[in-house]
Amino acid sequence: MPKEQANWSPYDNNGGSCVAVAGADYCVIAADTRMSTGYNILTRDYSKICKLADKCVMASSGFQADVKALQKHLAARHLIYQHQHNKQMSCPAMAQLLSNTLYYKRFFPYYSFNVLGGLDNEGKGCVFTYDAVGSYEKVGYSSQGSGSTLIMPFLDNQLKSPSPLLLPAQDAVTPLAEAEAIDLVKTVFALASERDIYTGDKLEIVVINADGIRREYMDLRKD
Amino acid sequence: MFRNQYDTDVTTWSPAGRLFQVEYAMEAVKQGSAAIGLRSKTHVVLGCVNKANSELSSHQKKIFEVDDHIGVAIAGLTADGRVLSRYMRNECINYSFTYESPLPVGRLVVQLADKAQVCTQRSWKRPYGVGLLVAGLDESGAHLYYNCPSGNYFEYQAFAIGSRSQAAKTYLERRFENFTGSSRDDLVKDAIMAIRETLQGETLKSSICTIAVVGAGEPFHVLDQGTVQQIIDTFETAAEQEDPATEPDAATGQEAAAEQGTAADHGGSTDEGAAPMDI
């Protein structure tokens, strides 16, 4: 008689896609607002984006319960940092903290695929991309989530980021202007919504620049 | 208070039913430089006197932000105060994490008091040598509590602790009935005036005091020196004396007011420039 398998999983995938693009003095972070389970939609209006610090924003797709727990954990750690250092955490610092937090649960991971975007201490845009257990890299742009396989090749084609292996190290940030980058992101999500069933409904775009943080929305296909 | 045969251990009662070590700990609070607090219906103001060990050093940080809605001013062993502030911050963060809402002030002071009580009933511990004025805002309104080393806590409309606090208390006793209806700015003014009472003759300037406010729609924060100086100027008729000795004092006051606090930990850690603890 064949062995009976466990059929309960602690994880679920709520779908969705996230993208972040770094510019010379801005950073664009975007994610769709559809939350699904299996072939069903749970809600069309769920934000996957979380502000971790003044100049640091994270977008995460995957299992939203784990994402929420991760966001709360990072927010609490940031508060402790502020009490101890009397200042906000910089984006690179938060990037390392996120990596350590994810690896801490190496053997029961946060099912969360993250992109971190923000401005570094010099005001230049930076994007960090992660896997579920904390392996991360500073890049010029990235996408994660169910639509990432459709989005990433398009971004590679449009943004032509130099290889991080080149010497001397070349700047990964895009020379595009802020408005152009936002347009690119909107195009990319319209593109993903066409073929990825888990991406759609509404697009939430967060832009960080020297003036602060602002939020924009755009409608996507609801099918 | 004189030495006697019942004061060696905190776990030894005197025949009169007193714990001398606990009372000695409360004496430590009286040695620290003054801290005052007062509240209205919607705001709580904390103030403290900045005492530096010497002209060369910065003053110690005596007011700590615990959470958006709670702050604390301490008098006594500042190191003990720092450690307790860290505990309070942690408790607030954990509560917020679990309940997604701010920790009620009354709950926090009870936890703090229980923590202090433990140190009065263990032979291998000593009581905390610091008094805390906890100012906070929660659903039930504005609160000001005083936590003492004995593990007791009391709620106050206004209170002062530390050296020369009696002068401030007298001032507050005369005016406290008006505080409930006071505006925020009047409350801050009263706080500065109360601090002035403890200075007893020394010129009142913004470098010598630190003021912090928490209120409805106003998260806990320390007022910057410029704002405090402006308020002082409105009621100080006498011009500030030009004292060359105050120049380095003002400079270190400025640097300290930028809230780098314990970063410059020169020399002794005792308050009030008093001799190091002999005990």
Strand partners, B40: none
Is the pLDDT assigned to residue B206 strictly greater than 90?
no
Chain B residues with CB under 8 Å of A79 CB are 89, 93
Domain spans, chain A: 17-220
Is the pLDDT assigned to residue B239 strictly greater than 50?
no
Q: What was the ipTM of the complex prediction?
A: 0.87
Domain spans, chain B: 20-223
CB contact under 8 A, B96 and A86: no
- Which 8-state DSSP code applies to residue B116? H
CB contact under 8 A, B259 and A86: yes
- Give the pLDDT confidence of B131-172 residue by residue, as tens digits: 999 999 999 999 999 999 999 999 999 999 999 999 999 999
Instruction: Determine phi and psi for A31, rounding to 5 degrees.
Output: -155, 150
According to the model, what pLDDT value does residue A174 have?
82
Tell whether domain A17-220 is in CATH 3.10.310.10: no
CB contact under 8 A, B93 and A79: yes
What residues of A are in the B interface, CB distance below 8 Å? 72-73, 76, 79-80, 83, 86
Is the pLDDT assigned to residue B18 strictly greater than 90?
yes
Banded model confidence at residue B214, pLDDT cuts 50, 70, 90: very high
- Give the pLDDT confidence of A80-94 residue by residue, as tens digits: 999 999 999 999 999
Chain B residues with CB under 8 Å of A76 CB are 93-94, 96-97
Q: How many residue pairs bridge chain A and chain B with CB atoms within 8 Å of each other? A: 17
According to the model, what pLDDT value does residue B162 have?
95
Greatest Cα pair distance, chain A, in angstroms, is: 67
Measured between CA atoms, the residue of chain A closest to residue B259 is: A86
What residues of B are in the A interface, CB distance below 8 Å? 65, 86, 89-90, 93-94, 96-97, 259-261
Compute the distance between CA of residue A147 and CA of residue A156 in angstroms, rounded to an integer.
14
CB atoms within 10 A of CB B157: 15
Six-digit token string for B104: 């009620």
Which of A166 and B221 is assigned the larger pLDDT?
Answer: B221
Q: Please name the member of B86, B93, B259 whose beta carbon is closest to the beta carbon of A76.
A: B93
Q: CA of A72, closest CA in chain B: separation in Å?
A: 7
What's the CA angle centered on B199, arms B193 and B200, to 5 degrees?
100
CB contact under 8 A, B96 and A76: yes
Compute the distance between CA of residue B171 and CA of residue A25 in angstroms, rounded to an integer.
54
Measured between CA atoms, the residue of chain A closest to residue B94 is: A76
Banded model confidence at residue B260, pLDDT cuts 50, 70, 90: very low
According to the model, what pLDDT value does residue B237 have?
55
CB contact under 8 A, B65 and A83: yes
Across B187-210, average pLDDT? 90
Q: CA of A76, closest CA in chain B: separation in Å?
A: 6
According to the model, what pLDDT value does residue B266 have?
37
According to the model, what pLDDT value does residue B201 have?
83
- Give the pLDDT confidence of A77-130 residue by residue, as tens digits: 999 999 999 999 999 999 999 999 999 999 999 999 999 999 999 999 999 999
Measured between CA atoms, the residue of chain A closest to residue B93 is: A76
Chain A residues with CB under 8 Å of B96 CB are 76
According to the model, what pLDDT value does residue B58 have?
87
CB atoms within 10 A of CB B239: 8
Which of B250 and A55 is assigned the larger pLDDT?
Answer: A55
- How much of chain B exceeds pLDDT 90, in percent? 75
Whose tokens are 């006793």? That residue is B173
User: In a mutagenesis test of the A interface, which of B64, B97, B103 is the best target, namely the one with the most A β-carbons within 10 Å?
Assistant: B97
- Give the pLDDT confidence of B112-135 residue by residue, as tens digits: 999 999 999 999 999 999 999 999
CATH for the stretch B20-223: 3.60.20.10
Across A4-33, average pLDDT? 94
According to the model, what pLDDT value does residue B235 have?
81
- Give the pLDDT confidence of A133-163 residue by residue, as tens digits: 999 999 999 999 999 999 999 999 999 877 7
Is the pLDDT assigned to residue B247 strictly greater than 80?
no
Measured between CA atoms, the residue of chain A closest to residue B85 is: A83
Q: CA of B162, closest CA in chain A: separation in Å?
A: 25
Compute the distance between CA of residue A99 and CA of residue A134 in angstroms, rounded to an integer.
4
Chain B residues with CB under 8 Å of A72 CB are 97
Locate all alpha helices (DSSP H) within B2-129, ordered by sequence. 20-31, 78-99, 105-118
Which of B245 and B191 is assigned the larger pLDDT?
Answer: B191
Amino acid at A154: F
Amino acid at B9: D
Q: CA of A120, closest CA in chain B: separation in Å?
A: 23
- Give the pLDDT confidence of A198-210 residue by residue, as tens digits: 999 999 999 999 9
CB contact under 8 A, A80 and B93: yes
Which of A170 and B256 is assigned the larger pLDDT?
Answer: A170
Is the pLDDT assigned to residue B99 strictly greater than 50?
yes
In angstroms, what CA-CA distances link A43 with A14, A40, A100?
A: 10, 9, 31
Kindly tell me the burial class for residue B8, based on how many C-beta atoms sit within 10 Å of its own C-beta (0-12, 13-18, 19 or more): exposed
Across B186-200, average pLDDT? 93
In angstroms, what CA-CA distances link A184 with A16, A35, A73, A96, A172?
A: 18, 23, 32, 28, 17
CB contact under 8 A, A76 and B260: no
